Chain A
């Protein structure tokens, strides 16, 4: 299942990854190989299997509405490259 170069560029844009022309071609091959690999799943007969969004036989994993003390802010911000007045600081990001 071969992806087109346009499809690779589209996926790259969704992930906000800039690719050079060479990289587009390399990714096109690698991503196509991955898709081919997963094609094996299509060979499994599933006519008798009800559709599900879950592979585990679990449901209703939930919790009561109770609070725990949150994390220490110093620890949280210690991992941030930049901070300002208790906020995390990032470069301006324009949507889309």
Chain B
């Protein structure tokens, strides 16, 4: 008997990402944009409160930030763009409509390269447009009735919306896209892109189809994911749930589902099932935007070296392996610290050593401070790292003393050379002193000596370690090895 082969399903994923832009003022008024630590309703004015008779005025920097994002992802920047009113009744909209862009977005097309499941992959973009964020609602219940509290500070914050084509094929690829996008936005310094602060928010659209077929299945929209991991888990849960339904001959409902972090599952959000009718129309208060080619060219000049280009240059220029170069290029701050430290080390050949310090012991110190900590948050500067790499290479200190020097530098901020002198960590190369210790170590470790003489070459490593320990890590390891060897050979 043969069993019927299970149909294998492929998930097709697209995402919509909302990014708050890091301007000084809001999108259409001069209220301060950064409301993160502000008391409720203290960053508001008649414009963002939606008072009658006010006139919004476009923040040119927000337009530029959006175009920068578009240029970094190879979008087309149409010569003319406009804003529209998106109408829907909800108390987070002070005017009863949101100023958004309907059919003439600032950026069209484009793509982002990600690490896909089967190697490098291109995720195409549909568009990027600019709109205003809504007020923040807190839902409460005082026992007498449910009610909502409104904080208008967020209303009118510049919000960039990016929509991809359905090009991702797994939860992992979905998370990879979001990570790569966030990295790019931070490189461009146009957004904090901080999920906890709400400046990077996303929804996922997905559907399943039998592998090898073309038509898309019924679309499900996933909301409420607040980490890359939850994006991945949400997609993976939906693949399981929908495959099971399709296997048993059921049908997928067109619906919006919310991800529940505690269970890793998704639940239907029935309230949103009906189709919205936003009745978009051109915003009469905002004349269209014309973006001349010279302006786009000037913005292109503002683009920094982007993560992929930087990583490739680190490999080429400093001879770093791909993974090390990628780690160093992960943030602009880290990449900058690396190159500054290499300059401080005084020789590009020391780049590899500098990289090892940054990826190894320095990263350990930074991780202890928090996930997003950078060297600039500590008392250690790139000059410290460069000097430390130089001291090790010039054999002023041993590698093991250098770790102690680094720890001390994180404590006090003192420069490595000064720490070496103050703590007496200078390498001991004096043959007499090393020889004396080597002799004692050989006497105290007859077993290792026998092993070595019996042909176990590696036993000498243990003995070198003992010499280092006796000399508190300061012995020149080459000198120690030589001294040990001569005693061991002599006593055969």
Q: A residues near B, CB below 8 A?
A: 14-16, 52-54, 56, 58-68, 70-71, 73, 76-77, 84-96
Contacts and interface: CB of A to CB of B under 8 A. Distances in A.
Contacts of A68: 25, 30-31, 45
Contact of A89 (B149, B152, B288): B149
Contact of B40 (A63, A64, A66, A86): A86
A73 B39 contact: yes
B119 interface: no
Interface string B108-152: 000000000000000000000000000000110000011111111
A14 B245 CA distance: 34
Interface in B42-56: 42-46, 49
A59 B104 CA distance: 14
17 contacts: A53-B288, A54-B284, A58-B287, A63-B57, A65-B62, A70-B31, A70-B43, A71-B44, A73-B39, A76-B44, A76-B49, A77-B41, A85-B40, A87-B151, A88-B150, A88-B152, A92-B146
Given A59-B288, A61-B287, A87-B138, A66 B150 contact: no
Nearest to A95: B271
Interface string B68-98: 0000000000000010000101110000000
Interface residues of B, number: 51
Given A56-B287, A62-B57, A76-B44, A92 B148 contact: yes
Contact of B150 (A62, A71, A90): A90
A68 B33 CA distance: 11
B442 interface: no
A86 B42 CA distance: 9
A17 B25 CA distance: 36
A95 B32 contact: no
B148 A93 contact: yes
A71 B138 contact: no
A88 B149 contact: yes
A68 B282 CA distance: 28
A65 B149 contact: no
A93 B58 CA distance: 30
Closest 9 CB pairs of A and B: A53-B282, A65-B61, A87-B149, A58-B287, A68-B30, A92-B146, A62-B58, A88-B150, A62-B60
B46 A71 contact: yes
Contacts of A90: 91, 147-148, 150
B63 interface: yes
A84 B30 contact: no
Nearest to A56: B287
A86 B41 CA distance: 7
Contact of B89 (A16, A67, A77): A16
Contacts of B60: 62-65
Interface centre among B40, B58, B63, B152 (most CB of A within 10 A): B40
B45 A65 contact: no
A67 B91 contact: no
A92 B31 contact: no
A40 B39 CA distance: 52
Interface string B401-443: 0000000000000000000000000000000000000000000
A65 B23 contact: yes
B277 interface: yes
A73 B42 contact: yes
B147 A92 contact: yes
A76 to B, nearest CB: 6
Given A54-B282, A66-B30, 12 more contacts: A14-B277, A15-B89, A53-B82, A54-B287, A59-B289, A61-B287, A65-B61, A68-B25, A71-B44, A73-B39, A89-B149, A92-B148
A68 B284 CA distance: 25
A47 B485 CA distance: 99
Contacts of B287: 54, 56, 58-61
A64 B25 CA distance: 9
A62 B59 contact: yes
Contacts of B279: 14
Given A14-B277, A56-B287, A70 B45 contact: yes
Contacts of B316: none
A52 B282 CA distance: 9
A58 B288 CA distance: 7
Interface centre among B30, B62, B151 (most CB of A within 10 A): B30
A5 B146 CA distance: 34
B248 to A, nearest CB: 31
Nearest to B89: A16
Given A73-B41, A89-B149, A90-B148, A61 B23 contact: no
A63 B149 contact: no
Contacts of B45: 68, 70-71
Contacts of B24: 65-67
B489 interface: no
A53 B87 CA distance: 17
A42 to B, nearest CB: 18
A65 B30 CA distance: 8
Contact of A76 (B23, B41, B271): B41
Nearest to A14: B277
Contacts of B274: 96
A85 B23 CA distance: 28
A92 B322 CA distance: 54
